[in-house]
Amino acid sequence: MVERISALDGNYQKGIFGKGKTPGIQLIEVKDLILYQVAVWPNTLKNVGSNIAKSLSLEEYPEPNFASSNKINAMLRVEPLKWWVVGKSNLKEITTEESCILDISHSKTCIRISGKDTISFINRFLPIDLREISFPVDAVASTVFHHVSVTLWRSKIGYELFIPRAFALSLWELLKESAAQFGYEIQ
């Protein structure tokens, strides 16, 4: 098996940086990301969605721009006919006649952002209303970050930012530079 090397390898230094002793931002790269993309046809949407949710032990499949999750897996509805499945999933029950499954784990870098200043920090880059009423837990949005298409998911433990691997390092540098004003910790 090929060993996966992080796009941030060599530029990921753990510690506390920036102003103050109490960091307002925590940044974590989600290592060994497992990410599948499942595309369906309109007439197979309900069947495939239900089967995936069942195989992931989720109550139901999410509506567009939302996610369903448990402690192990998550199912994000990133487009009307497309889901991302995050985590140690078992998609063997899904047939190729009903859907198309693609492993995109190596194409994305996931950075988890949390802390008391998270919303102010993220809004420096993403034009999204992140208030609880507009972007609740399990909300998902596709947007742009410095002209790069990204996906943001508000999970139960923070904001998960999915970045194309080719742009991960340059956007990581921008995140660190901006986080310095709040004080930040890389875990």
pLDDT of residue 97: 82
Average the pLDDT over 60-81 and give the result.
96
**Taking the CA atoms of the chain, what radius of gyration do you get in angstroms?**
17
How far is residue 88's CA from residue 44's CA, in Å, rounded to a whole number? 24
pLDDT value at 20 more than 90 = no
Average the pLDDT over 19-44 and give the result.
92
- What pTM did the predictor assign? 0.94
> Is there a contact between 170 and 158 (Cβ–Cβ < 8 Å)?
no
> Which tens digits make up the pLDDT trace of 90-131?
676 666 788 999 999 999 999 999 999 999 999 999 999 999
